Structure 1
């Protein structure tokens, strides 16, 4: 029995080392997801609010998931150093849940990427038609037009049928040069076209979000499949410790 324990000791030490390294990498992926969630809230918030019929909690989900992974990454390191079979099994169970959640998120990202154009065309057109320069969706429209240097849905003529145009003209966020774009110009259907951006926002926004959704979905897939390695290491280490009654310090 003693010789058998001596033979399995190097294996357990090797598994312990690999799992600690993995847990550290897992902790880093949590930090990445947390950063992506914060970035999504700050950078993609206006775009997401225009695409979704209702406000979405996707950035907060990423922030919460990243924070949870950071905590369990530290737990994984502690469980490995402690050599506790039940802690290692709990860690493996958590990794399996993360794997399933991120796999679903990755698939949903790719599906959403293909459905995004029709949804955005409808919601963005509605936001333009009911623009009042005050509510959240109107401010999101202004943000999109300023940051992407575009105007209207397909082009600036989208504003001619909006409820805002008869009294205020085209919004100033469409102006190509703010210093040479007066309210009188924006109310003049003849002068306005030479003062505003010519390209519509529809193609620019859908291209922008499709690209970023692909990145997020790719990261989710990559992290998800990495969980399989962690699950295997944690399960193997727990089995070796339990079978050989070996208590690591």
Structure 2
């Protein structure tokens, strides 16, 4: 058994780590709500524009929605594991945070790739109606003047839609990267708390 003075030094550290980790888990839960909202917003608001890229690039909103929903669940699990002070639960929580970190990195990279892929892909003829309906823009050729309305815009449809997509997907990718690196704090706190609790249990033996 370790000296009582050493055990007294360990307990305040555990209490401090628990406080930080519970606070982190609540913030983590809130970031899950944000990711879920951003994913739903991207799916609903940008659904029409996703036809301008390959099918693989349209998975970013689904990744955000799925990741956000799971974060909401595991954020609550993190609070429960911290209050219980269970080392194996804390290790499981750290493993989950690592998976979330990787998933959010994938979502962020997908957003940036999709931004450049819009310009790289050649537009198909059937996209013309989509472009005209999705943005106030100018006709692409003299033939389009026959079907144009009273207002004629000076910015091309494809250029305007590309600008809208780049702006919105930049927001999605930025949020994903920001929240992803936030997980590193939780991984560090979970591992430290698990180690201190385990050491404290051995000291009491």
TM-score range, shorter-chain basis?
0.7 to 0.9
Which deviations, in whole Å up to 9, do the C-alpha atoms of 1:82-135 show, x marking residues without a partner?
10101000000000111112123223322332232122xx23x33246xxxxxx
- Looking at structure 2, the residues matched to 126 and 232 of structure 1 have their Cα atoms a distance apart, in angstroms, of 52
Listed as ranges, the matches of 1:8-27 within 5 Å are 8-27=10-29
- Looking at structure 2, the residues matched to 13 and 55 of structure 1 have their Cα atoms a distance apart, in angstroms, of 45
- Looking at structure 1, the residues matched to 104 and 165 of structure 2 have their Cα atoms a distance apart, in angstroms, of 19
Task: Report deviation, 1:198.
Answer: 4.6
Alignment correspondent of 1:84: 86
How many positions carry a matched residue from both structures? 200
Alignment correspondent of 2:142: 157
- Looking at structure 2, the residues matched to 100 and 88 of structure 1 have their Cα atoms a distance apart, in angstroms, of 19
- Looking at structure 1, the residues matched to 61 and 110 of structure 2 have their Cα atoms a distance apart, in angstroms, of 15
Cα RMSD, aligned residues only: 2.3
Which deviations, in whole Å up to 9, do the C-alpha atoms of 1:20-68 show, x marking residues without a partner?
1110111111000100011111111101123335793432222111100
- Looking at structure 1, the residues matched to 24 and 80 of structure 2 have their Cα atoms a distance apart, in angstroms, of 13
Alignment correspondent of 1:94: 96
TM-score (structure 2 length as normaliser): 0.87
Contact 2:81 2:90 in 1 (8 A): yes
Structure 2: 5+ residue runs without aligned partners?
Answer: none
- Structure scoring higher RCO (CA < 8 A, sep ≥ 6) equals 2
TM-score (structure 1 length as normaliser): 0.73
For the pair shown, the structure with the greater C-alpha radius of gyration is 1
